[in-house]
């Protein structure tokens, strides 16, 4: 298979990240047990580890002689940072599954009922509260990991400080901005006229804020660590940042497609949940453009209806495909990858550049 080299790299990274995090001293500070479970649950489930991989590939592409052990704390840091956003995202979206198992708030809720014998209402509230607190602890953990770069004697402490500053200002503000827009769009724009007023660029920007910015940071951090510089405007750093930014947006477009056409067993979460939650996607927007008045009315009655029955969800999925929403979004994702690749022209040829190119194409061909 064309992606075997990439898959082998990702598998190796998954093992190393999980091992590193299991042995990290932060585990002793995750108290009580419910916080430990909430903070580590997703981290130790099988995962693609794409963001740490981008960080490591970007680092290797500018310095292929750097000791990987020097970079692993940052790779683990970006994984922990990404994962706390998933814990909070599942809470916001009321999602019950993540990576094939109960989401954190549901996992803690079940533990409360079984072990602490809380009643159903209290267990539900406690599960949600712990998910918030566990996510907060994970954010702190990620910062601790980036700060530890300064302890190894190989990376300038100023580099670690600069990365933390960027992560805790620009990156987190953009992520929260994007998530807020996603929630706002989910509650609003239910009338046909309002739905059609939502511009494609607004949806794309929201996707970039939610996903592209952290991929962008991962590449930037890897390049800055590899070059041991604080200059985030360095041409090579900027090139890798731009490349990953565009690929990250394509990743989210593909995620939206899989939310309609994917296999639940592979995805580890319910297909069609985006429809019930009222997610505003380029898929929906394009389908509405091509829909008859009757089809538009039907779509507006189902999208955002949390009580929609399975039959309506299936019919809506079929309409989104029939009305060219899925194919249109596939083409959009391909354009982002096409625009991303020239950014790598400045990067010297290496196995890591080859892996980055494989990763870019995999973003729009993956099925989970």
pLDDT at 267: 72
Q: How far apart are CA 281 and CA 284, in angstroms?
A: 5
Q: How far apart are CA 353 and CA 347, in angstroms?
A: 7
The conformational region for residue 117 under phi > 0 = left, psi -120 to 50 = alpha, else beta, is left
Domain of residue 96 covers 4-362
pLDDT tens for 39-96 read: 999 999 999 999 999 999 999 999 999 999 999 999 999 999 999 999 999 999 888 9
Q: How far apart are CA 275 and CA 314, in angstroms?
A: 10
pLDDT at 191: 67
8 A C-beta contact, residue 353 and residue 347? yes
| Number of compact structural domains in the chain | 1
- E strands in the chain: 97-98, 101-102
Burial 268-305 (b: 16+ CB within 10 A, else e): bbebbbbbbbbbbbbbbbbbbeebeeeebebbbebbbb
What mean pLDDT is predicted for residues 239-252? 97
State how beta strands 97-98 and 101-102 pair: antiparallel
pLDDT at 190: 62
With vertex at residue 275, the alpha carbon angle to CA 364 and CA 330, rounded to the nearest 5 degrees, is 20
pLDDT of 4 above 90: yes
pLDDT of 195 above 80: no
What mean pLDDT is predicted for residues 326-338? 98
Please provide the distance, in angstroms rounded to a whole number, between the alpha carbons at the two ends of the chain. 17
Neighbours of 108 (CB within 10 A): 25
SS3 for 4? helix
pLDDT of 116 above 90: no
User: Is 255 part of a structural domain of the chain?
Assistant: yes
Listed residue (95, 126, 132) closest to 110, CA to CA:
126
Is the omega angle on the peptide bond into residue 32 within 30 degrees of 0, that is, cis? yes
User: Is 62 part of a structural domain of the chain?
Assistant: yes
The conformational region for residue 313 under phi > 0 = left, psi -120 to 50 = alpha, else beta, is alpha
pLDDT tens for 150-187 read: 988 889 999 999 999 999 999 999 999 999 999 888 77
User: Is 367 part of a structural domain of the chain?
Assistant: no
SS3 for 97? strand
User: Is 368 part of a structural domain of the chain?
Assistant: no
Average the pLDDT over each of 158-167, 196-205, 336-345 and give the range with the smallest value.
196-205
Token pair 């019919």 is at which residue?
315
Percent of the chain residues topping a pLDDT of 90: 83
CATH number at residue 286: 1.10.600.10
Handedness of CA 253, 254, 257, 259 (dihedral sign): negative
């Amino acid at each position: 298979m064309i992606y075997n080299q990439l898959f082998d790299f990702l598998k190796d990274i998954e093992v190393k990240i999980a091992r590193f995090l299991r042995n990290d001293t932060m585990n002793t500070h995750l108290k009580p047990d419910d916080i430990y479970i909430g903070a580590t649950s997703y981290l130790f489930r099988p995962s693609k580890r794409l963001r740490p991989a981008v960080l490591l590939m970007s680092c290797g592409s500018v310095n292929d002689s750097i000791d990987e052990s020097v970079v692993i704390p940052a790779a683990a840091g970006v994984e922990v940072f990404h994962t706390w956003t998933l814990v909070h995202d599942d809470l916001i979206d009321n999602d019950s599954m993540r990576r094939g198992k109960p989401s954190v708030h549901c996992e803690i809720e079940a533990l409360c009922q079984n072990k602490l014998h809380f009643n159903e209402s209290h267990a539900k509230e406690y599960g949600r509260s712990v998910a918030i607190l566990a996510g907060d602890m994970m954010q702190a953990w990620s910062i601790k990991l980036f700060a530890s770069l300064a302890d190894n004697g190989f990376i300038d402490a100023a580099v670690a400080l600069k990365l933390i500053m960027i992560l805790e200002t620009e990156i987190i503000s953009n992520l929260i901005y994007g998530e807020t827009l996603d929630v706002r769009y989910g509650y609003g724009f239910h009338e046909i006229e309002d739905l059609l007023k939502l511009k494609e660029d607004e949806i794309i920007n929201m996707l970039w804020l939610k996903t592209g910015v952290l991929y962008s940071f991962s590449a930037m951090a890897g390049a800055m660590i590899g070059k041991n510089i604080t200059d985030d405007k360095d041409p090579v750093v900027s090139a890798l940042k731009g490349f990953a930014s565009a690929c990250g947006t394509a990743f989210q477009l593909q995620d939206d497609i899989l939310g309609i056409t994917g296999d639940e067993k592979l995805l580890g979460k319910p297909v069609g949940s985006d429809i019930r939650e009222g997610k505003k996607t380029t898929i929906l927007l394009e389908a509405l453009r091509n829909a008859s008045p009757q089809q538009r009315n039907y779509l507006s009655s189902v999208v955002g209806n949390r009580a929609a029955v399975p039959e309506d969800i299936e019919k809506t999925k079929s309409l989104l495909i029939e009305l060219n929403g899925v194919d249109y979004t596939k083409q959009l994702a391909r354009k982002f990858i096409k625009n991303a690749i020239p950014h790598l022209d400045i990067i010297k040829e290496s196995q890591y550049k080859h892996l980055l190119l494989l990763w870019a194409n995999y973003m729009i061909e993956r099925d989970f």
